[in-house]
Structure 1
Amino acid sequence: MSSATTPNTKEVNNHVDDEQPTTRRIRHLSLHLNPPFTHNHHYNHQIELGACSSRSKVDVNAGQLSSYLRGKHRDVQERVFAYFNSRPDLQTPIEILKDDYRELCMRQLVGLVREAGIRPFRYVVEDPVKYFAIIEAVGSVDMSLGIKLGVQYSLWGGSVLNLGTKKHKDKYFEGIDNLEYLGCFAMTELHHGSNVQGIQTIATFDPVTDEFIITTPNDGAIKWWIGNAAVHGKFATVFAKLMLPAHDKNALSDMGVHAFIVPIRDLKTHKTLPGVEINDCGHKVGLNGVDNGALRFRDVRIPRENLLNRFGDVSRDGKYTSPLPTINKRFAATLGELVGGRVGLAYSSVGVLKIAATIAIRYSLLRQQFGPPKQPEISILDYQSQQHKLMPMLASTYAFHFATVHLIEKYAEMKKTHDEQLVADVHALSAGLKSYVTSYTAKSLSICREACGGHGYAAVNRFGSLRNDHDIFQTFEGDNTVLLQQVAGDLLKQYQEKFRGGTIAATWSYLRESMNTYLSQPNPVTARWEGEDHLRDPKFQLDAFRYRTSRLLQSAAVRLRKHTKTLGSFGAWNRCLNHLLTLAESHIETVILENFIEAIKRCPDANSRAALKLVCDLYALNLIWSDIGTYRNVDYVAPNKAKAIHKLADYLSFQVKNIAKELVDAFDLPDHVTRAPIGKQSPGEAYAEYTQYVGF
């Protein structure tokens, strides 16, 4: 029994199966037990299951698909690629000492801005989509360079633009833009990272001199892991608790965390300024082109004007004013303006995944090994085990691409409109996607290395450096576990609003519909539907994702209510923490699938649309199968349907394998960007370059 075929399904499926279910199952079982070998002696010899051989390969044009993927800012990315291709002296060697790497990274940034004329700072507010396109391209060239650029423009520059007022922009914009004012973002402390409200650095106002005094009260308050601090930075945006004289002259009032511009080195001599102590955080696991340092402040005095005063200001006589009534609201507004860092990391992480997937898949198509008796060797991507490693990953890469593109578009709209609901929406979505995507990419980099065997272990083929440089993405801009808890917390708030008749944020739009749709007893008829048309229907896929999230949300709410009575709110949260993290991940997977489906609808080219539909189906069904126990436990999926999902996911993986070359070619990453001999576009050049590298 199957549902009607959707238009998108028709574009992918030209095969019509008229067999009865029993006959079809017997034939499939027979083919499984006795798989026929094809006798093709050409290079592209493949092992195919008979059940798949009658289905035609999707015809996809990599150029047209690439145009859809890369969008309107493709030109500026190609300018970045072309500049570094023209400057071999600025390309990062495989082996380089930390101090040399830092100086090279600085030269790369200066060359990009002053020679190539690419000025990212101008787009931070005016055109964030273009800014993130530059960030992705620069990070593809060198991840350390991408992070150093982000520290300068997103963090240091972004704090001035987003937390300051006109006087700050007028004074600092040009110097930040042209790199004269290299800066840092000094939020994280030795003892406090994710809990920003707990930071201990203090900024005390002195009404006699009209200055703030920046002080590090103990070793735990030393600013730590501060990019650009160890060598190049001249300014720092320092986050500190603002302390004002109270009515009692011997007391101080804590006004909460604020941001201050603190000069740390002399603009002319580059010497460390009085009262500022800077030390080097040293060699790191990765990203050694970035000069991370530690900062201690010993009663450093700065002018009152150096308070970034968009959300709170201090007058000459020490009076505090703010457009927001409470410390918590001011703190939320401050962090809300800094969400661009999470957006950029999520988007850049997808860029890293594209590089790794491209190298691993091209090598898997090139490398031949074993094969039928007395027949030529076959590509290792023809093996089901290799497909199982790489094809769902390729599907996820596409899914993440469209989800993060959606995120940066929403972020750009938020910066333009300042709509409160959109601000909340972007905050939650960026937290979830940053956490989910960076964790997935980190795991996938190791899988790609393994999939390429011994050659994946060679430094020249980049998996090691990609893995090490990307690893910290899981901690940057908020630890991933903490961010997932934020998503879970927001979901529970939305759940409560649903039943109070309140408004629902756009990210959780499916909660606008009756939760009963997803929480009612599963339909025993549809639970047994196993037809391909039904399983590839976007409605079935989305309903399954939403059902899982809704059940997790309802059960989490019930458990929290129960445990709060005996353990209190914090104890209850901690008792249910793993449940809440699973809930957050399930919700993010739902959002990713929604955006993938919408992106397919918008794709103007029919062949590209068919290819994307195939990839999307693999993404959805592979995730459903990976958690099939959840669906089986509540009878959402009957045993026969579970088997059909598994079988179809394997078949889709095989079909995606058939167009894997075109799919990675559509990422449009030149060889001088991927920089891995085993990942060359032309298979004939791969081993030639590899052997030359080792000296033959």
Structure 2
Amino acid sequence: MAKRADHDHGKQQEEESPIIPATTLRRIERLSFHLSPLGPVSNRADPGSEIQLLNCAGKAKKIAVNKDELSRIMRGRHRDVQQKVFDYFKSRPELQTPIEISKDEHRELCYRQLVGLVREANIRPFKYVVEDPSKYFAIAEAVGSVDMSLGIKMGVQYSLWGGSVLNLGTKKHWDKYFDRIDNMEYTGCFAMTELHHGSNVQGIQTVATFDPVTDEFVIDTPNDGAIKWWIGNAAVHGKFASVFAKLMLPTHDAKGVSDMGVHAFIVPIRDLMTHETLPGVEINDCGHKVGLNGVDNGALRFRSVRIPRENLLNRFGDVSRDGKYTSSLPTISKRFGATLGELVGGRVGLAYSSNGVLKIATTIAIRYSLLRQQFGPPKQPEISIIDYQSHQHKLMPMLASTYAFHFATLHLVDKYAEMKKTHDEDLVGDVHALSAGLKAYVTSYTAKSLSICRESCGGHGYAAVNRFGSLRNDHDIFQTFEGDNTVLLQQVAIDLLKQYKEKFQGGSLAVTWNYLKESMNTYLAQPNPVTSRWEGEDHLRDPNFQLDAFRYRTSRLLQSVAARLQKHSKNLGGFGAWNRCLNHLLTLAESHIESVILERFIEAVKSCPDEGSRNALKLVCDLYALDRIWNDIGTYRNVDYVAPNKAKAIHKLTVYLSFQVRNIAKELVDAFDLPDFVIRAPIGLQTADEAYSQYTQLVGF
């Protein structure tokens, strides 16, 4: 009787349907055909059945993807050196980091891992810092995939300590230190951050006073707030430190000294033979941390430590034997800017490596969601949790973002390499702002995504053996070091405002901001009432529409915040106005970075040589773009850029694209080409049949 009642109810619905206007029915039919994985509404057996939606989702047309070809595109030209890293650690299982390890054991293991990589595997990252930065960052990504602590320790040794010698020193420093830094004989630290000063480097209080009598600099920590803090390699292994301090010269003026601004100095901190702490240097251990406990962070205090005058890293400023200061740059601010400009490699590496962490996390979560089955239609087999719309909503846009970040950070690495080769001033400024923005945006997104991945794997995501805890804890600090993310986004906003001002004064714009010059008037014009209502799939998946939408939002935000700053500065002054508009400025910076990311993704799709891979990348790119537009749909609705019907179409298409990406999700994560021993999580193994057996064995069952 129940079935008969349902049939009669359905018949009654069909008989009553003519009361709906024909135009409305056609619109529903057309939208259903374009936006539903199930085809037109009239073909559905039960449009309200969520179970049928789930069962049919897997039957949507699947793009043919050659995983090996897509992997070749993703791993790029440095696949061989990354594979060399993986092969070395696979051949040395005793060097692989165990699940449970004490702080001290982890520190010693990381040291052995790095020494082995350099001396046994003959992988020399330091030479690539100079010769081919893109290859260095590829090695860093692979090493960080093996153990994030190892990746950071390598970065401290070669990018920070070694990089400061190369980038801030001159030939005499390269000749003396390069080979010994390269072979790990001269292990070192990068001593910039102080207990009281982190992001505000110009405010650091450590001083280096020149003594003309002995031809030495005297390094002093004047108070507790000036103690160098969180210094990697300091607690155990470091023998030298690049110490950032205010260079003070004796003069005959009223103050008695002359502050020449922040400079870097090579300061020995331990005896090369005995490894004992040198006189005047006090080293303390920063102790157990939330994560990255394989890195020996320490605190340094200096009490009248004397170093030769030649230990000043003198690329941007030098002191002669008679105490005279010379520099090619006329002011403290210009010297400081040039010094920090040479150290952006750390931000480039963090953005690139953070996306490497995101690749691991999405791989584990997606493979498990394909494996794990839960619930289903009555008297039928359970379905995979990835077939639930809510699960796709969590993971598929994240997978799309991982691909988007890959191409954006790869672009940043290439620009950085070009900058190091050409030293072009415009390129220096462009890389500085882009590295700040991408580092902030990617690391923040990855940090949030790690928690989502853990939740997506339920209780098994909470097991230490499945790695989400260690990944989340180790990565969390990425949001802070090499520049706090909030501070870095403000640097992006400052640069945008500078470019905006120059646009109206007729100045030239850096390449990254070209759209502000070329199309600002278009983006700031009143939205077209016709295009604001276009809702067809072809239009919404058109990269021109997507990029225009991103850029329109950025241009509106830029124009409005410039007006607000001008208004508030009259009463509050410059600092007060900036603080009043700070949230607006951060949103502006994030919007611009999203525009840059999308632009690079679109270019990657266009230039992809393999048709199957190109189709897959286009699908993923569309999901990335439309998901971002939908997440900020209120902004577009408030200015009538998107009409209500178009907003609904964007949402439906985003859901549909998530269904489609789900169908090739396995191929997409497999294309990251991360070996099982690198993934290490048993629920994330490539062979699903082995997942539970490996899982139970690892926990001792």
Q: 1:37 to 1:466 in 2, by over 3 A?
A: closer
Correspondence for 2:11: none
Q: C-alpha separation between the residues in 1 aligned to 2:387 and 2:289? A: 39
> Partner residue of 2:181?
176
Which residue of structure 2 lines up, in the alignment, with residue 14 of structure 1? none
| Larger displacement relative to structure 2 (594-603 or 506-515) | 506-515
What is the distance in 2 between the residues matched to 1:403 and 1:505? 17
Q: Which amino acid is 1:694 matched to?
A: V
TM-score (norm 1): 0.95
Gaps of 5+ in 2: 1-24, 34-39
CA shift for structure 1 position 247: 2.5
SS in 1 for 2:56: coil
Contact 1:46–1:379 at 8 Å: present in 2 too?
no
Within the candidate set 560, 564, 572, 2:569 is matched to 564
Q: Does 1:632 align with 2:637?
A: yes
Q: Please report how far the alpha carbon of residue 695 of structure 1 lies from its aligned counterpart in structure 2 after TM superposition.
A: 2.3
Is 1:69 paired with 2:77?
A: no
**Residue by residue, what CA displacement relative to the aligned partner does 1:358-399 show, whole Å, maximum 9, x if unpaired?**
000000000001111111001000000000000000000000
2:94 alignment partner in structure 1: 89
What is the CA-CA distance between 1:512 and the residue it aligns to? 1.9
The answer to whether 1:324 aligns with 2:329 is: yes
Q: Deviations over 1:477-513 (max 9, x none)?
A: 0000000000001000000011000010111111121
Q: Partners of 1:282 and 1:436 in 2: how far apart?
A: 29
Structure 1 residues 633 and 249: CA distance shift in structure 2, 3 A: closer
Three-state SS of the structure 2 residue aligned to 1:242 is strand
**Conserved 8 A contact 2:242-2:264:** yes
Matched-pair contact (CA < 8 Å) for 1:390–1:448: yes
* Structure 1 position 26, deviation (Å): 7.2
Give, as a single letter, the amino acid of the residue that structure 1 aligns with 2:292.
Answer: L
Equivalent residue, structure 2, for 1:658: 663
Contact 1:399 1:619 in 2 (8 A): yes
| 1:188-227 to 2 correspondences below 5 Å | 188-227=193-232
Q: Is 1:527 aligned to 2:532, yes or no? A: yes
Q: After TM superposition, give the deviation of residue 110 of structure 1 in Å.
A: 0.6
Are residues 212 and 366 of structure 1, via their aligned partners in 2, closer, same or farther at CA, if it must alter by over 3 Å?
Answer: same
* Residue equivalent to 1:503: 508
| 1:578 matched residue in structure 2 | 583
Query: Which one of the candidate residues 307, 329, 334 is aligned to 2:312?
Result: 307
28-37 or 338-347: which moved more? 28-37
Structure 1 Cα separation of the partners of residues 182 and 254 of structure 2: 43
CA distance in 1, matches of 2:371, 2:239: 49
CA contact (8 A) 1:132 1:347 kept: yes
TM-score by length of 2: 0.94
- What is the rounded CA distance, in whole Å, between the counterparts of 1:38 and 1:565 in structure 2? 60
Partner residue, 2:56: 48
Instruction: Name the amino acid aligned to 1:48.
Output: C
Q: Do residues 460 (structure 1) and 444 (structure 2) align?
A: no
Counterpart-to-counterpart distance in 1, 2:71 and 2:430: 29
Aligned to 1:8: none
Of the candidates 413, 419, 423, which is equivalent to residue 424 of structure 2?
419
Runs of 4+ more than 4 Å apart: 25-33, 35-39
Q: RMSD of aligned C-alpha atoms?
A: 1.5
CA contact (8 A) 1:435 1:481 kept: yes
- Provide closer, same or farther for how the CA distance between residues 26 and 264 of structure 1 changes in structure 2, counting only shifts above 3 A: closer
- Following the alignment from structure 2 to structure 1, what is the Cα–Cα distance between the partners of residues 463 and 635? 40
1:378 equivalent in alignment to 2:378? no
**Which of 265, 283, 289 in structure 2 is aligned with 1:278?**
283
Matches within 5 A, 1:10-25: 20-25=26-31
Moved more, 254-263 or 87-96: 87-96
1:654 is matched by which residue type in structure 2?
A: F
CA offsets, 1:152-198, max 9 Å, x none? 00000000000000000000001100000000000000000000000
Give the match's secondary structure for 1:681: coil
Q: Tell me which amino acid in the other structure corresponds to 1:74.
A: R
**1:207-229 Cα shifts (integer Å, max 9, x gaps):** 00000000000000000000000
Which residue number corresponds to residue 47 of structure 2?
34
Tell me, in whole angstroms, the C-alpha distance in 2 between the residues paired with 1:33 and 1:626. Answer: 30
- Give the aligned residue type for 1:57: K
Deviation at 1:29, TM superposition (A): 5.7
What is the CA distance between 1:35 and its match in structure 2? 5.0
Per-residue CA distance 1:284-323 (angstroms, 9 max, x = gap) = 0000000000000000000000000000000000000001
Q: Distance in 1 between matches of 2:225 and 2:96?
A: 38
Instruction: Give the letter for the 2:56 counterpart.
Output: E
Aligned twin of 1:237: 242
AA matched with 1:638: A
Aligned-pair CA distance for 1:253: 0.3
Q: What secondary structure, in the 3-state scheme, does the structure 1 residue paired with 2:519 have?
A: coil
**Distance in 2 separating the partners of 1:163 and 1:200:** 20
Q: Residues 37, 330 of structure 1: CA spacing in aligned structure 2 closer, same or farther, 3 A cutoff?
A: closer
Aligned pairs for 1:315-354 within 5 A? 315-354=320-359
Aligned with residue 493 of structure 1, among 470, 487, 498: 498
CA positional deviation for 1:691: 1.2
Partner of residue 128 from structure 1, selected from 133, 136, 148: 133
Q: Identify which of 464, 475, 483 aligns with 1:478.
A: 483
Deviation at 1:201, TM superposition (A): 0.1
Alpha-carbon distance in 2 for matches of 1:38, 1:184: 58
Equivalences for 1:609-620 in 2 at 5 Å? 609-620=614-625
- Counterpart for residue 546 of structure 1: 551
Q: What code does the residue aligned with 1:629 have?
A: G
Q: Which residue of 1 aligns with 2:402?
A: 397
Contact 2:535 2:650 in 1 (8 A): yes
1:21 Cα deviation (Å)? 2.6
Q: Contact 2:29–2:41 (CA<8 Å) still a contact in 1?
A: no
> Which residue, 302, 317, 324 being the options, matches 1:297?
302
For 2:449, which of 423, 444, 465 is the aligned residue? 444
2:451 and 2:32 map into 1 onto residues whose CA distance is: 39
Output the amino acid matched with 1:564: S
| SS state at 1:430 partner | helix
Asked if 1:433 is matched to 2:434, the reply is no
Are residues 305 and 249 of structure 1, via their aligned partners in 2, closer, same or farther at CA, if it must alter by over 3 Å?
farther
1:33 Cα deviation from its structure 2 partner: 6.3
CA offset at residue 23 of structure 1? 3.2
Indicate the SS of the match to 2:249: strand
CA shift for structure 1 position 24: 2.7
| Helix, strand or coil at the partner of 2:64 | coil
Any conservation in 2 of the 1:37–1:372 contact (CA below 8 Å)?
no
Q: What number of residue pairs does the alignment pair up?
A: 670
Give the Å deviation of 1:521: 0.7
Distance in structure 1 (CA, Å) of the matches to 2:217 and 2:470: 43
Q: CA deviation at 1:694?
A: 2.3
SS of residue paired to 1:48: helix
Alpha-carbon contact 2:261-2:336 (below 8 Å) kept: yes
When structure 1 is superposed on structure 2, of 245-254 and 577-586 the one drifting more is 245-254
Hey, what's the Cα distance between the residues in 1 that align with 2:592 and 2:186?
41
String of CA shifts for 1:70-111, please: whole Å, max 9, x gaps: 111100000100111111111111111111110111011111
- Of all paired residues, the percent bearing the same amino acid is 82
Q: How far off is 1:38 after superposition? A: 8.9
User: 3-state SS of the aligned residue for 1:381?
Assistant: helix
Following superposition, the deviation at residue 25 of structure 1 comes to 4.5
CA–CA distance in structure 2, aligned partners of residues 26 and 176 of structure 1: 63
From 597, 606, 610, the equivalent of 1:601 is 606
2:241 aligns to what SS in structure 1?
Answer: strand
Structure 1 contact 395–615 (Cα < 8 Å) conserved = yes
Counterpart CA distance in 1 for 2:211 and 2:573 is: 42
How many Å apart are 1:350 and its aligned residue?
Answer: 0.3
Question: What is the rounded CA distance, in whole Å, between the counterparts of 2:210 and 2:647 in structure 1?
Answer: 66
Asked if structure 1 preserves the Cα contact closer than 8 Å seen for 2:281 and 2:301, the reply is yes
